[in-house]
Amino acid sequence: MGRTVPTYRMYLESILDRWMDYRRALREKDRDLFDEVVNRARQHASAASYCAHLDPVETAFLSIFLEMQREIAELKAKLAVAPP
């Protein structure tokens, strides 16, 4: 029998598909950044699937923010170590 409830990954891909018109309207240099941001949401699909009570868009944004925060922390650590 088939699944009656779509998986989070299916929800995520449908959300990302809805955002493709926006992507196409971006400049080429911004499309690369957009793709990078979208891939950050995909990286945390497994963790997001455990939060069935949340809106899939919320978990997509949480995943993106988590990856951005990780990058900020890494940059801060590099700046703290680098000599002035």
Reported as a single tens digit per residue, the pLDDT across 5-46 is 778 888 889 999 999 999 999 999 999 999 998 998 898 888
Mean pLDDT of the chain: 87
Residue 30 within a domain:
yes
Rounded CA gap, 33 and 39, in Å? 10
Q: Which domain does 42 fall in, by range?
A: 8-81
Residue 73 within a domain:
yes
At residue 39, what is the residue type?
N
| Tally of domains within the chain | 1
Residue 3 within a domain:
no
Residue 13 within a domain:
yes
Residue 82 has pLDDT above 80, yes or no: no
Residue 1 has pLDDT above 60, yes or no: no
Other C-beta atoms closer than 10 Å to the C-beta of 8 total 21
